[in-house]
Amino acid sequence: MDEKVLRLAQEVIALFVEFKKFFRECMTTGEELLSPERFQCLLHLSRLDEAGLTALSEMLHVSSSALCIMLGGLEKEGLVERERSPNDRREVRYRITPRGRAMVETEKERRSLLLARYLSSFSEAEQEQLKKLVEGLSLFLKKMGREGKGGPFSS
């Protein structure tokens, strides 16, 4: 393996770790309606018609038991609903409710406004440079087969 490529890979991993930390720390203001984990869960459900527990736990990288507890709470709050499969009573399918979808949209808007405040401190040239970098990273993820599933690190 080329040493230069290996260093680049390590830098990319470090950057993603820092991004995750940034979003965890800086996007948490006390005004959020949902914890980051609950937001991610509802966000995934909002993109799908419905999902089973196993598939959802794989997407979120959370154990099925922890996710089951989270989904139970979201169900009690009226944010998700669950239904047993008519074909297999052991299989439970989850879907987001209109109330859950509205909460996701509100939280997405809150996060966008907060991030926009950070980005507004950048010059126009820096914003354009960042935009190109984001487009490049997005292309990188697509090339790696990582549009919400799979990818080089998936098991």
List the one residue out of 64, 139, 125, 135 whose CA is nearest residue 94.
Answer: 64
Please report the pLDDT score of residue 34 as a whole number: 85
Residue 154 has pLDDT above 50, yes or no: no
Distance linking the first and last C-alpha atoms of the chain: 22
Q: Which helix or strand (DSSP H or E) is residue 8 part of?
A: helix 3-26
Averaged pLDDT for residues 21-50? 85
Averaged pLDDT for residues 5-18? 91
Sheet of strand 51-52: strand arrangement: 51-52, 92-96, 80-84
C-beta separation of 67 from 41 below 8 A: yes
70-123 pLDDT tens trace: 999 999 999 999 998 788 878 889 999 999 999 999 999 988 998 999 999 999
CA separation for the pair 53, 35 (Å, rounded): 19
| 103: Cβ contacts below 8 Å, ≥ 6 apart | 33, 34, 42, 79
Q: State both tokens at 18.
A: 């820092």
Considering only residues 144 and 101, tell me which one the structure prediction assigns the higher pLDDT: 101
127-136 pLDDT tens trace: 999 999 999 9
